């Protein structure tokens, strides 16, 4: 592919060894070697890449920091990986407009810190928040524990700048929460995993930074006691900013093999609840919460300072990597069901007899069901187990992915389980926005 050699405003990687890290993300999916990895430094590189992709018939695969969980940035046959890590631009906070502008390359950690430096808050907090890029979170509509109260990445995006198939960068949306002049095309790009175009920057909505946190550890003797709690709390007017949990198997594994802090964790199963509204550390608030929880609250522990709070979150944040290290071939899913159906979900999972352990975002029904023995399971059997899991979630009014997206990992299941009319609409939009099929081919649809 000599045409790539003269690409302006770009760094080019072509030898197999330096392209090796680009063959995978944090899912179990691995792709073939791409034709090249291109790191654009400016719009001329993208313009020329789009022209060449159309002329030479290759695809373009967008990549942020490679922390995705569904293979969305993994190369497919005859593709060039477009690594946005060197895309230029600064993070600019505008306190008057309660917003911030940042390039796709900005680390999410820096985006959140820039907001905080002005007393402002950008809530999206995927587990990879310290290592992922803003662009990746926009392309995948990333979630995280805070989604329980604050919603997903898309709820915090005012406008996006995106590369479209004409090779130019276009802006969708304005720097205001009120913008209603026609359908919101920018929202179509968020979570589209790069199949309609590539996001190169965005203006994000901010809010005042919470000043008070009540972080609670809730160990239970009978783990099913946790399952009604998200619905009961919400039904009674309590909305935690996070409500996470470990089932007995995950908790046991953390206790036996995890870091020092994890070895002391109490309970048969454990929930982490956090509230961040004003007054949430006051006695009346905590008493009302206690009353609502009833006997389940027997072992409740309240973090008394920031150090304790950070310790609790450190254990939760390392769980995914910890399980992966112990079970390198595990498959982790992220189904979601309405919080009112959690009990039905676990009863259904039991009936299916799938050997799985679960942790995750209990408060919004988004569960990381982990098949630890996936590597030793016969592929057809594993596929059947996963399909059973997805069908169960769908049958309860949920879906197969709450936050990680479809990418390559869940594409087949997505195609099998989606309403044909929805797939037809998505394909029509894809064809209208990307008639040559150059943007992230083979993903999602
Ligand atoms: C988390 O909540 C992440 O820890 C990763 O979404 C979950 O590994 C996973 O499946
Ligand atoms: Zn998660």
Instruction: Report strand pairing: 79-83 vs 59-63.
Output: parallel
**Ligand 1 centroid from CA 77, angstroms:** 28
Please tell me the pTM assigned to this model: 0.97
Residues 8, 128: Cα–Cα separation, whole Å: 32
Yes or no: say if 13 and 37 are a contact pair by the CB < 8 Å rule.
Answer: yes
Q: Hey, whose CA ends up nearest to atom 8 of ligand 1?
A: 320
User: If you measure from the C-alpha of residue 247 to the centroid of ligand 2, how many angstroms do you get, rounded to a whole number?
Assistant: 15
**Cβ atoms 228, 343 nearer than 8 A:** yes
Each of the 445 residues of the chain gets a pLDDT tens digit; together they read 688 999 999 999 999 999 999 999 999 999 999 999 999 999 999 999 999 999 999 999 999 999 999 999 999 999 999 999 999 999 999 999 999 999 999 999 999 999 999 999 999 999 999 999 999 999 999 999 999 999 999 999 999 999 999 999 999 999 999 999 999 999 999 999 999 999 999 999 999 999 999 999 999 999 999 999 999 999 999 999 999 999 999 999 999 999 999 999 999 999 999 999 999 999 999 999 999 999 999 999 999 899 999 999 999 999 999 999 999 999 999 999 999 999 999 999 999 999 999 999 999 999 999 999 999 999 999 999 999 999 999 999 999 999 999 999 999 999 999 999 999 999 999 999 999 999 999 999 9
Distance CA 57, CA 285 (A): 61
Q: 52, 44 in Cβ contact below 8 A? A: no
CATH architecture of 210-326: 2-Layer Sandwich (3.30)
Q: Choose the CATH number for 2-86 among 3.40.50.720, 3.30.43.10, 3.30.300.250, 3.40.50.920.
A: 3.30.43.10
Please tell me the distance between residue 164's alpha carbon and the centre of ligand 1 in angstroms: 31
Residues 6+ apart with CB under 8 A from 195: 430, 434, 439, 440, 443, 444, 445
- b/e 3-38 (16+ beta carbons within 10 angstroms → b): ebeebebbeebeeeeebeebbbbbbbbebebbbbbb
Instruction: Please list the alpha-helical segments (H only) found in 179-337.
Output: 185-189, 229-235, 248-257, 260-263, 283-293, 306-326
CA of 246 to the centre of ligand 1 (A): 12
**327-430 has which CATH code?**
3.30.70.2740
From the list 382, 427, 434, the residue with the least C-alpha distance to 409 is 382
Pick 92-208's CATH classification: 3.40.50.10260, 3.30.1380.20, 3.30.565.10, 3.30.465.10.
3.30.465.10
In angstroms, rounded to a whole number, what is the distance separating the alpha carbons of residues 220 and 224? 9
320 lines ligand 1 (CB under 6 A): yes
| Residue 317 in contact with ligand 1 by CB distance below 6 A | no
Record the tokens describing residue 7, joined without a space: 């690409």
Domains 2-86 and 92-208 share a fold: no
- Order across the sheet with 59-63: list the strands: 10-13, 36-40, 79-83, 59-63
Query: Domain segments of the chain: what residues?
Result: 2-86, 92-208, 210-326, 327-430
Is residue 316 lining ligand 1, measured as CB closer than 6 Å? no
């Amino acid at each position: 592919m000599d045409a790539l050699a003269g690409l302006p405003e770009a760094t080019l990687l072509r030898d197999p060894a330096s392209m090796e890290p680009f063959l995978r993300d944090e899912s179990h999916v691995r792709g073939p070697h791409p034709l090249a990895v291109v790191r654009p430094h400016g719009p001329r590189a993208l313009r020329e890449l789009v022209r060449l992709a159309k002329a030479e018939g290759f695809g373009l695969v967008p990549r942020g920091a490679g922390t995705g969980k569904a293979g969305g940035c993994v190369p497919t046959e005859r593709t060039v990986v477009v690594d946005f890590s060197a895309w230029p631009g600064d993070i600019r906070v505008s306190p008057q407009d309660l917003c911030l502008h940042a390039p796709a390359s900005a680390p999410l950690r820096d985006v959140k810190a820039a907001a905080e430096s002005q007393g402002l808050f950008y809530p999206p907090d995927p587990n990879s928040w310290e290592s992922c890029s803003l662009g990746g979170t926009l392309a995948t509509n990333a979630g995280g524990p805070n989604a329980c109260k604050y919603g997903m990445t898309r709820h915090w995006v005012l406008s996006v700048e995106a590369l479209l198939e004409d090779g130019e960068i276009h802006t969708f949306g304005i720097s205001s929460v009120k913008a209603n002049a026609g359908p919101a095309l920018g929202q179509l790009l968020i979570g589209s995993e790069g199949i309609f175009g590539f996001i190169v920057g965005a203006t994000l909505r901010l809010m005042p930074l919470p000043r008070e946190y009540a972080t609670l550890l809730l160990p239970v003797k009978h783990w099913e006691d946790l399952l009604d709690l998200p619905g009961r709390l919400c039904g009674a007017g309590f909305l935690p900013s996070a409500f996470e949990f470990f089932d007995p198997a995950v908790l046991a594994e953390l206790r036996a093999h995890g870091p020092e802090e994890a070895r002391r964790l109490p309970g048969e199963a454990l929930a982490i609840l956090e509230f961040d509204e004003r007054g949430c550390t006051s006695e009346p608030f905590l008493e009302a919460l206690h009353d609502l929880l009833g006997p389940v609250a027997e072992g409740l522990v309240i973090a008394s300072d920031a150090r304790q709070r950070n310790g609790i979150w450190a254990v939760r944040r390392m769980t995914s990597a910890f399980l992966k290290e112990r079970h390198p071939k595990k498959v982790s899913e992220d189904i979601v069901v309405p919080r009112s159906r959690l009990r039905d979900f676990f009863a259904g999972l039991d009936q299916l007899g799938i050997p799985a352990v679960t942790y995750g975002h209990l408060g919004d029904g988004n569960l990381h069901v982990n098949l630890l023995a996936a590597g030793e399971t016969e592929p057809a059997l594993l596929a059947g187990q996963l399909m059973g899991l997805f069908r169960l979630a769908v049958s309860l009014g949920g879906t197969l992915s709450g936050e990680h997206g479809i990418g390559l990992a869940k594409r087949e299941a997505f195609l099998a389980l989606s309403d044909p009319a929805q797939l037809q609409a998505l394909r029509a939009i894809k064809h209208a926005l990307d008639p040559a099929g150059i943007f992230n081919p083979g993903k999602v649809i």
